[in-house]
């Protein structure tokens, strides 16, 4: 694998501030990948990701809603996957809080084998 | 759809149960760990009752197939849609010498199924299409079709029954649930999200965890421990319990004072809004939780409409499969986000239970105790225990071994 180039992590202009997170691997390809980011990365990194994305969640989804969800251009598709990772991270930060230390072990027992977001377009 | 004909004078399917009257119970631990008991359960229950194994969206087109393993019965089931549009199930076993027919992939589309051993090939309706040098067998093709497995569909959910002659039709088995399952999102779903787990626990012990609310405060303090317990109901006990045949249902309470975290409010809010816009109208059935014998639960909910299946592997190992069914494709990025969140949040709750179930199984295996106690609101646990026991005892009687179960059911053994 070659190093990630800048264009591989490019996001739509209004969300360019989140590009370092894409470069750091936070736009997980599958729901299972996205669920692992929450438990594989350090608690500090998870908290920082949450803090960076939370204020942009609503604007990002409002922006993405302008596109057909199954035919997103590459940058928009990356932004979508970044927001989907946020769904998992939000549970760690907003709901579990101090108990996330337990969930880092517990959620590994439950492998996500299928998600509607991962289906190829019909 | 706004009302359903149901038990007269009640919105409940089946017969309401008063927990105080049904009472607490103490039962022997034998059925939660003994290998002999488990082997009897396999014969008496899993080879005889209807099992929920697939969904119609997995076999939409002619030739679409899935292979489903019923581990405890060592059965591999091939579920396939024929060109006549009929969904059928067969033993996934070549009728020549017993080789597994489809062994290279768990699902796909095939015009014909060909055994890799000697090239026998079977049509999608199970009939033998051709076999190399078939004349040398002296057999009739009609006698060599794949062995069928009984299959029926209710509310989009595919059930199979391994009994060559099931004692009941699926409609008879489901009873009032036959009319209610079409209200579950699975009935109109075009897709689903799924997560799977394997756990060191007897199937009933695993099942029991998910059919009582007494543990919610302790095991789920941050997820559903408070959202399901309104003022005056600290343990979130169900408002209503009922049984029908071997099945159970309860109406889960909600805490109107509970304030969800910001992303939860957005995620669950959106899936509920979408479900309503799509006309998924649950009416009085929202928040009904069905505990179906022997192998699954269904939650009738617009927020996380799941079917959770429990499949025993051995006397102390079980596989769980949770599917959240979605009505229609993702219409927007917001809906895609909301469905991912609803799946992840439901998975969070289920995953909180794994370690305590395994700890419970370890304690029982130590034989430190010979009995377990159920309080009155844990009534579904001893209802399941009794339903399994009755079937085992009935089966043992038929085998001329009526007394064989006693050792497992007595205290002090």
**Domain residue spans of chain B:** 3-50+168-411, 51-167
A chain contacts of residue B267, beta-carbon cutoff 8 Å: 87, 90
Contacting residues for B172 by C-beta, under 8 A, at least 6 apart = none
Q: What is the band of A2 on the pLDDT scale with cuts at 50, 70, 90?
A: very low
CA distances from A20 to A16, A26, A36, A89 (A): 9, 9, 19, 17
Geometric angle at alpha carbon B8, from B181 and B18, rounded to 5° = 85
> pTM for the whole thing?
0.94
Helices B333-351, A74-90: inter-axial angle, 10-degree rounding: 30
Tally the C-alpha atoms within 13 A of residue B57's C-alpha that lie toward its C-beta.
Answer: 19
CA distance B74 to B381: 27
Choices 3.40.190.10, 2.102.10.10, 3.40.47.10, 2.30.42.10: CATH for B51-167: 2.102.10.10
Q: Is A83 on the interface with B (CB under 8 A)?
A: yes
Q: Which of B195, B222, B326 comes nearest A110 by C-beta? A: B195
The SS3 of residue B127 is coil
Question: Read out DSSP for B92-113?
Answer: SB-TTT--BS--S-SEEE-SSE
CB contact under 8 A, B222 and A117: no
- B3-50+168-411 and B51-167, same CATH topology: no
Tally the C-alpha atoms within 13 A of residue B191's C-alpha that lie toward its C-beta.
Answer: 19
Which CATH architecture group holds B3-50+168-411?
Alpha-Beta Complex (3.90)
Q: Which residues of B touch A (CB under 8 A)?
A: 191-199, 221-223, 261-264, 266-267, 322, 326, 329-337, 339-341, 343-345, 347-348, 350-352, 354-355
Best of B275, B320, B335, B340 to mutate (most A CBs within 10 Å, chain A): B340
Q: What share of chain B is helix, strand, coil (3-state, %, to 5)?
A: 35, 25, 40
pLDDT at residue B6, as a whole number:
35
The SS3 of residue B167 is coil
Token pair 């239970």 in the structure block, residue: B353
CA distance B308 to B324: 9
pLDDT 10s digits, A51-64? 999 999 999 999 99
CA distances from B11 to B14, B286, B291, B303, B362 (A): 9, 12, 17, 21, 40
**Per-residue pLDDT of chain B in tens (413 residues, 90 and over written 9):** 233 333 333 466 888 999 998 889 999 999 999 999 999 999 999 999 999 999 999 999 999 999 999 999 999 999 999 999 999 999 999 999 999 999 999 999 999 999 999 999 999 999 999 999 999 999 999 999 999 999 999 999 999 999 999 999 999 999 999 988 888 999 999 999 999 999 999 999 999 999 999 999 899 988 888 888 888 998 989 888 999 999 999 988 888 888 889 999 999 989 888 888 887 766 666 788 999 999 999 998 888 899 999 999 999 999 999 999 998 899 999 999 999 999 999 999 999 999 999 999 999 999 999 999 999 999 999 999 999 999 999 999 999 999 999 989 999 86
CA distance B175 to B179: 8
């Amino acid at each position: 694998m070659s190093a990630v180039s800048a264009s591989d992590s490019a996001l739509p202009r209004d969300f360019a501030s989140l590009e370092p997170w894409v470069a750091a691997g936070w736009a997980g390809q599958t729901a299972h990948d996205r669920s692992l980011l929450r438990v594989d990365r350090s608690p500090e990194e998870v908290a920082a990701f949450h803090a960076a994305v939370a204020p942009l969640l609503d604007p990002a989804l409002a922006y993405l809603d302008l596109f057909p969800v199954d035919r997103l251009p590459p940058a928009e598709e990356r932004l979508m996957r970044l927001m989907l990772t946020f769904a998992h991270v939000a549970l760690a930060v907003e709901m579990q809080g101090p108990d996330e230390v337990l969930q880092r072990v517990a959620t590994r027992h439950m492998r996500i084998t299928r998600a509607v977001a991962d289906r190829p377009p019909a | 759809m706004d009302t359903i004909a149901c038990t007269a004078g009640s919105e409940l399917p089946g017969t309401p149960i008063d927990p105080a009257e049904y009472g607490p119970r103490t039962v022997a631990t034998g059925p939660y760990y003994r290998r002999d008991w488990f082997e009897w359960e396999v014969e008496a229950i899993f080879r005889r009752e209807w099992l929920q194994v697939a969904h119609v969206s997995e076999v939409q087109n002619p030739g679409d197939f899935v292979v489903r393993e019923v581990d405890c019965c060592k059965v591999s089931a091939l579920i396939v849609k024929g060109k006549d549009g009929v969904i059928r199930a067969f033993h996934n076993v070549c009728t020549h010498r017993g080789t597994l027919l489809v062994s290279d992939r768990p699902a796909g589309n095939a015009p014909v199924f060909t055994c890799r051993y000697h090239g026998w090939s079977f049509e999608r309706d199970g009939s033998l299409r051709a076999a190399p040098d078939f004349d040398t067998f002296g057999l009739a093709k009609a006698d060599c079709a794949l062995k069928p497995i009984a299959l029926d569909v209710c509310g989009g959910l595919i059930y199979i029954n391994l009994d060559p002659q099931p004692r009941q039709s699926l409609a008879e088995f489901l009873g009032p649930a036959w009319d209610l399952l079409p209200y579950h999102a699975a009935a109109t779903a075009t897709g689903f999200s799924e997560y799977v787990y394997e756990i060191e626990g007897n199937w009933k012990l695993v099942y029991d965890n998910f059919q009582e609310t007494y543990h919610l405060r302790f095991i789920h303090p941050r997820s559903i421990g408070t959202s399901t317990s309104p003022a005056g109901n600290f343990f979130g006990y169900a408002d209503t319990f009922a049984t029908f045949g071997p099945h159970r249902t309860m109406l889960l309470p909600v805490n109107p004072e509970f304030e969800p975290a910001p992303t939860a409010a957005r995620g669950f809010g959106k899936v509920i809004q979408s479900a309503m816009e799509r006309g998924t109208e649950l009416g009085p059935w929202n928040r009904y939780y069905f505990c179906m014998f022997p192998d699954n639960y269904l939650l009738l909910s617009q927020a996380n409409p799941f079917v959770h299946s429990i499949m025993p592997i051995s006397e102390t190992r079980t596989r769980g499969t949770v599917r959240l069914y979605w009505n229609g494709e993702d219409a927007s990025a917001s809906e895609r986000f909301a469905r991912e969140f609803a799946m992840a949040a439901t998975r969070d709750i289920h995953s909180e239970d794994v370690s305590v179930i395994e700890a419970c199984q370890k304690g029982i295996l130590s034989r430190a105790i010979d009995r377990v106690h159920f309080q009155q609101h844990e009534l579904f646990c001893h209802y399941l225990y009794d339903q399994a026991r009755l079937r085992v005892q009935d089966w043992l009687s038929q085998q001329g071994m009526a007394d064989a179960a006693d050792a497992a059911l007595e205290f002090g053994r």
